[in-house]
Structure 1
Amino acid sequence: MKDVNDAVELLWSKLEVWGEQIVLMLPNIFVALILLIITVYVAKIIRDWLGKFMGKFSHSAAINNLILTILHIGMLMVGFFFVLSVLNLDRVVISLLAGVGIIGLALGFAFQDIAANFISGVIIAVQKPFGVGDMIETNDYFGNIERITLRTIDIRQVTGELVRVPNKMVFENPLTNFSINGSRRIDLEVGISYAEDLEHVQQVVIEALQDVKNRIKTRDIEVMYDSFGDSSINFKARFWVSYSRQVDFVSAKSDAIIRIKKAFDANDILIPFPIRTLDFGIKGGEKLSEELQSITASIKKGQRLNGEGQ
Structure 2
Amino acid sequence: MINFSLPKFRRFSSLIAIGLIITTASVALTQEEEILIPPNNTPVEAIPGLYFADVLVRGRPIFQIGSLPEINATQRAEIINRRIASVLTQSDVVEQVTVKPDNPRQIATLQLNNRVLMTVTQQDAEDFGLEVEDLAQRWAKQLNQALNRPPLAIDVGQRLYETVRQLIQDTINNLPSLVGAIIVIGITWSAATSVRYLAFRWAQRTEGDSSTEILIGRLSYGGVWLLGSVIALGVMGLNFGALLGALGLTSVAIGFSLKDVLSNYISGIILLSARPFKINDQVIIGDFEGTIAQIQLRATTMKTYDGRLVYIPNQEVFQASIINNTASPRRRSSVKVGIDYGEDIDTVKKVIREAIDEIQEVEATPVPDILVCELAASTVNLEIRFWVDSRRSGFLATTSKVAQAVKEALEKADIDMPTDIYTLILREFPTQIQIKSEEG
TM-score if structure 1 supplies the norm length?
Answer: 0.74
1:217 to 336, 344, 364: 364
1:257 to 403, 419, 427: 403
**Contact map agreement 2:355 2:409 (CA 8 A) in 1:** yes
Give how far 1:150 is off: 1.4
The amino acid of 1:254's aligned partner reads S
Relative to structure 1, the CA distance from residue 40 to residue 113 in structure 2 (aligned partners, 3 Å threshold; closer, same or farther) is closer
C-alpha separation in 2, matches of 1:129 and 1:228:
40
2:422 to 276, 284, 299: 276
C-alpha separation in 2, matches of 1:253 and 1:158:
17
2:321 to 151, 174, 180: 174
C-alpha separation in 2, matches of 1:64 and 1:215:
40
| Partner residue in 2 for 1:288 | 428
Residue 97 (structure 1) aligned with residue 191 (structure 2): no
Q: Which has the larger radius of gyration?
A: 2
Give how far 1:154 is off: 1.7
| Partner residue in 2 for 1:112 | 259
C-alpha separation in 2, matches of 1:220 and 1:106:
61
Greater Cα offset, 261-270 or 151-160: 151-160
Matches within 5 A, 1:119-134: 119-134=266-281
Helix, strand or coil: the match of 2:283?
A: strand
Give how far 1:82 is off: 5.7
| Partner residue in 2 for 1:72 | 225
Give how far 1:42 is off: 5.4
Residue 51 (structure 1) aligned with residue 191 (structure 2): no
| Partner residue in 1 for 2:339 | 192
Q: Which runs of 5+ in 1 are unaligned?
A: 13-21, 281-286, 300-310
1:3 to 88, 94, 97: 97
- Percentage of matched positions with identical amino acids: 24
Give how far 1:277 is off: 1.9
1:156 to 298, 303, 308: 303
C-alpha separation in 2, matches of 1:11 and 1:265:
113
Detail structure 1 runs of 4+ shifted over 6 Å in the superposition.
none
Write 1 or 2 for the structure with the bigger share of helix: 1
Q: How many equivalent pairs are there? A: 269
Give how far 1:273 is off: 0.9
Q: Which runs of 5+ in 2 are unaligned?
A: 1-94, 99-137, 146-168, 204-209
**Post-superposition CA distance 1:245-302 (Å, at most 9, x none):** x22111111111111111111111011110112345xxxxxx226x78xx69xx7xxx
1:267 to 405, 413, 432: 413
**Contact map agreement 1:242 1:248 (CA 8 A) in 2:** yes
C-alpha separation in 2, matches of 1:3 and 1:260:
111
Helix, strand or coil: the match of 2:415?
A: coil
The amino acid of 1:288's aligned partner reads E
| Partner residue in 2 for 1:208 | 355
C-alpha separation in 2, matches of 1:45 and 1:170:
34
Relative to structure 1, the CA distance from residue 275 to residue 46 in structure 2 (aligned partners, 3 Å threshold; closer, same or farther) is same
The amino acid of 2:395's aligned partner reads F
